[in-house]
Structure 1
Amino acid sequence: MNFRPYRLAVAVTVAGAALLAGCASNKGAPNTIYDFGAPSVQLFTAANPSSQLPPIVVMDATGGAVLDNERMVYRLNYADPLQARTYAGSRWSGTPLDLVTRRLKVRLAQAGVTVLSATDAANRVPILRIEVDDFVHAFSSTSASEGQILLRASVLADHRLVAQKSFAHSAPAPSQDAAGGVAALAAGTDRIALDLKNWLSTLDLQGK
């Protein structure tokens, strides 16, 4: 008697049950929540004074739908760079847009800039708008990855565009997992905050 078909059917059934059990257990597993951590005060130094900058309204960052939720996005650029994937067991504490907004405000305030919200705006106070185009943990191989950030900053005053500039930065990830991506994206956001502050210092925002 040939028992091979029967054994094969049993093996498939067992494998399917194990797969379903695994999916069920993952579905109920708690998420690991990440944010950028407490900002260091060493980012800005006296070599880059900001006393000449007037108060500025920093609007909430805007961006695509993929950045307006708490999912952590990564890309396997070495396999399929057009597919955005998400970490199953890891989440941001807020949306990437919220995290970027808060970190930029904190860094500018640490540099001595008076940061205002939209509700505090007054006449002739310059407005800073941020549009985030990319915020992703990108893998160039199975053993190397980086946090990639691309955003566009626009400064307006008296209902006119004063200046606009794109900022991009890629920071290497210390590990090839969600935690490494978080560290890289936090470092990249800090670097863009520094570049943004230096750029603002070159603009005539006093209205003279």
Structure 2
Amino acid sequence: MFITPKQPSWGALRLGILAVMVFAGGCAAATPWQTPYNINGFHPAAPDGGKVFAHAPTVVLQLALVSASPWLDTDAYQYHLLYQNPQMLLSYRDARWVGTPAAMMDARLLQQLQRSHAWKAVLSGQSSAAAQYVLQVQLTNFVVDFSTAQAGTALVAGMATLVNAHDYQVIAQQQFTESVALSKASAAGGASAMAKASNDFVNAVTDWAARVQ
């Protein structure tokens, strides 16, 4: 005796097809991870503008590894929604930085210091060569603040300290804050503004260090 398999009802088939469509649609709508943003990708190092120094530089400078406040020790793309909860620090799920703010700033600042021609040589923080001065930079802010759903500002802030490498005496210290308005209230718009603010920060620190040496 043969038993004919029970055919699924049309209602069951419809539910199955609908489930497949929902699953496929959900995958298609999922936002893929974007290429990590880099503050060095938007603005190349600024030229020295043809500056001429009265005497050839004789001082060797070492840039200590740039440090940052603990909450910046991440490659997360962090931002504030000032119009909702100013105190809450948020992070994009589908966007991030190519490295920590300190690591990105270290590479950018070293590049600009070496191009400034204000020093006999500029050494990285890992160098074991002798230097007369050490430049220490600590980032205290690196965040995008959205004032409304359509507007925002990229903020970079930090402290720069120039130290005598022989006796560890502080030569000068200065706080720097740079901000740039977003051209578009989006992750890409914020990254572009952050690159410009970082560029302004680097140029300000570079010019200051050359003046106070």
> Normalised by the size of structure 1, how large is the TM-score?
0.78
- The answer for the alignment partner of 2:33 in structure 1 is 30
List runs of 5+ in structure 2 lacking aligned partners. 1-21
Contact 1:44 1:194 in 2 (8 A): no
Q: 1:46 aligns with which of 50, 55, 72?
A: 50
Deviation string for 1:62-117 (max 9, x for gaps)?
Answer: 11232111100011112211110001100111111101111111111121243202
- The answer for the alignment partner of 2:98 in structure 1 is 93
Larger Rg computed on CA atoms: 2
1:145 aligns with 2:152: yes
Q: 1:80 aligns with which of 59, 80, 85?
A: 85
Contact 2:46 2:112 in 1 (8 A): no
- Tell me how far apart the structure 2 counterparts of residues 101 and 80 of structure 1 sit (CA, whole Å): 31
- Tell me how far apart the structure 1 counterparts of residues 130 and 160 of structure 2 sit (CA, whole Å): 21
Contact 2:61 2:135 in 1 (8 A): yes
Percent identity between matched residues is: 23
Counterparts in 2 of 1:22 and 1:69: CA distance versus 1, 3 Å: farther
Residue identity in the other structure for 1:188: A
List runs of 5+ in structure 1 lacking aligned partners. 1-17
Contact 2:62 2:122 in 1 (8 A): yes
Deviation string for 1:113-169 (max 9, x for gaps)?
Answer: 432023435555200111110000111111111110110001111211111100001
- The answer for the alignment partner of 2:169 in structure 1 is 160
- Tell me how far apart the structure 1 counterparts of residues 47 and 130 of structure 2 sit (CA, whole Å): 31
RMSD of aligned alpha carbons: 2.7
- Tell me how far apart the structure 1 counterparts of residues 91 and 42 of structure 2 sit (CA, whole Å): 25
Contact 2:43 2:196 in 1 (8 A): no
Contact 1:57 1:121 in 2 (8 A): no
- Of the structure 1 ranges 53-62 and 117-126, higher mean CA displacement relative to structure 2 is found in 117-126
